């Protein structure tokens, strides 16, 4: 989700959706915990990460989050 879309969603729903953790993080930090949690959740989802040589949305998300 783009920054603009995330801001709009947060404004409309009152939520606090954060951007993905894509950079280097300190072990034990909040961002490291978010990454570990996301990777564990998303890796458990059934379905392929690539199909016909192309990444599926699941595979693209796992790659973006460096899982």
Q: Which residue has the tokens 């300190």?
A: 26
pLDDT value of residue 9? 94
Name the residue range of residue 53's domain.
3-64
Q: How many CA atoms lie within 13 A of 50 on its CB side?
A: 5
pLDDT value of residue 45? 87
pLDDT value of residue 40? 95
Number of domains in the chain: 1
Distance CA 16, CA 37 (A): 17
The answer to whether the pTM exceeds 0.85 is: no
pLDDT tens profile 3-58: 999 999 999 999 999 988 988 999 999 999 999 999 999 999 888 888 988 999 99
């Amino acid at each position: 989700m783009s920054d603009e879309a995330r801001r709009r969603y947060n404004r409309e729903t009152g939520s606090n959706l954060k951007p993905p953790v894509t950079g280097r993080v300190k072990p034990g930090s909040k961002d490291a915990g978010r990454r570990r949690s996301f990777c564990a959740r998303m890796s458990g989802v059934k379905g392929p990460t690539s199909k016909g040589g192309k990444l599926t949305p699941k595979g693209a998300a796992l790659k973006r989050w460096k899982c």
